Amino acid sequence: MWEKKPILLLVLATLAIMVGTVITMVLPFKWINGEGDRIASVKPYNALQLAGRDVYIREGCNNCHSQVVRPLVADVLRYGDYSKSGEFVYDQPHLWGSRRMGPDLARVGGKYPDAWHVQHMKQPKVMIPQSNMPAYTALVGNAIDPAYTEKKMKVLGFPYNQAEIQALAGKTELDALIAYLQKLGSDIPWRQQAKAVVVGDLVNPFVNDAAAIAEGAKLFDSNCDSCHDLKMESDDTDDVGPPLTNMKDFDENDLFTLIHDGTGAGMPSFASIGVTGIWKIVNFLKNHKEGDDEGHKKGDDEGHEK
């Protein structure tokens, strides 16, 4: 019957497609950007962060890093509560991504200090030995254009003032990229909510345990060595954190708490290592003596050769 009325069939089909489009595409976009879906603590990007976001897109960082915490157990345990649409109301376009060749960056803001990011961009393998990320040293020599950034702020309707634009003078693309990374996830209190809680008194279960100390050395190498040196006179002038000397004089419970909770001023929490792992690192640091490094490194090298 309908095939004998092609015009009517075409009109009805068009109406059906339009209704489906409105329901599945137009309304969701309105809901996502509606006032009821917004998160009060999530603010627009400032000028430096917006410039860094454009560098992030230009360099193709979103091809290897996603920016969305999925509602999966593994994601929630690692990154905190799953992402809400209100976190992305100022993202045009969004950078959720579809692959994770590198770690998800939705909550990377505040996890590491700026100095860590600087070294990571210049020498990724120094900070994360297993990384396959290329170096981005060229960003250091590229200056931000304040006038162009101001135009972008106007187009997107983000609030700014002239002092903020003038402050861009002398800033590099590396400065901007780091500012953008430090913004990601920092507007929501996820890190405090996701932090593990240690119940009961702190009791060191590995006192003078040689095997635990050896395992602690490996955990230190994979989690702490990129920022801290174990010698006062280090050949590595790019260490982000202070050298960890004379740890034997440091209260072991205070050291455990510091590693578990972080400092809140640069050093992130390492609660994800687990209570047992943190105690092993504590015992390694408490028993480490300057001069043990050569033997420790030699043992690691021999192990790798085997």
Q: Please report, for the chain, the start and end positions of each structural domain, with discontinuous segments joined by +.
A: 47-192, 210-305
276: pLDDT strictly greater than 60: yes
The pLDDT-based confidence of 194 (bands split at 50, 70, 90) is: low
Q: Give the three-state DSSP class for 115.
A: helix
- Whether 295 shows a pLDDT value over 50: the answer reads no
Q: Quick one: CA dihedral 40, 41, 44, 46, positive or negative?
A: positive
| DSSP 8-state class, residue 82 | P
Torsion, Cα 271 122 141 161, to 10 degrees, reads 0
Q: DSSP letters of 224-248?
A: TTTT--SSSS-S-TT-SSPP---GG
3-class DSSP state for residue 143?
Answer: strand
47-192 and 210-305 agree in CATH topology: yes
pLDDT of residue 299: 44
Give the pLDDT confidence score for residue 35 in this predicted structure.
56
What type of residue sits at position 159?
P
pLDDT digits (tens, 9 = 90+) for 136-164: 999 999 999 999 999 999 999 999 999 99
**Best CA proximity match to 265, nearest among 116, 79, 93, 104:** 116
Tokens of 250: 């440091």
Per-residue pLDDT band at 174 (split at 50, 70, 90): very high
- Dmax (CA) for the chain in angstroms is 92
Superfamily of domain 210-305: Cytochrome c-like domain (1.10.760.10)
- pLDDT (mean) for 66-77: 87
Computed over every residue of the chain, the mean pLDDT equals 82
The structure tokens listed for 76 are 């929630």
The C-alpha angle 217, 220, 225, rounded to 5 degrees, equals 125
Look at residue 248 in the predicted model and tell me its pLDDT.
79
11: pLDDT strictly greater than 70? yes
Can you read off the two tokens belonging to residue 177? 């990229």
Judge if the upstream peptide bond of residue 93 is cis by omega within 30 degrees of 0: yes
Range 47-192 classified under CATH 1.10.760.10: yes
Residue 88: name the closest of 57, 105, 67, 58 by CA. Answer: 67
The whole-number pLDDT of residue 264 equals 63
SS (H, E, C) 187-223: CCCHHHHHCCCCCCCCCCCCCCCHHHHHHHHHHHHHH
Length of the chain: 306
Q: For 238-260, what is the mean pLDDT?
A: 79
The alpha carbon torsion through 171, 174, 176, 180 (nearest 10 deg) reads: -160
Is 55 in a helix, a strand, or coil? Answer: helix
User: Mean pLDDT across the stretch 36-53?
Assistant: 89
Stretch 201-229: mean pLDDT? 86
Of residues 271 and 155, more confidently modeled: 155
User: Given this model, what pLDDT does residue 53 score?
Assistant: 97
Stretch 205-231: mean pLDDT: 86
99-125: b or e for each residue (b if 16 or more CB lie within 10 Å)? eeebebbbbbbbbbbeebbbbbbbebe
pLDDT of residue 303: 43
The predicted model gives 117-144 an average pLDDT of: 90
Whether the model pTM is above 0.85? no
- 32 CB burial (10 A radius; 0-12, 13-18, 19+): middle
- What pLDDT, on the 0 to 100 scale, is given for residue 304? 42
Tokens of 205: 């279960």
Report the pLDDT averaged over residues 258-275: 77
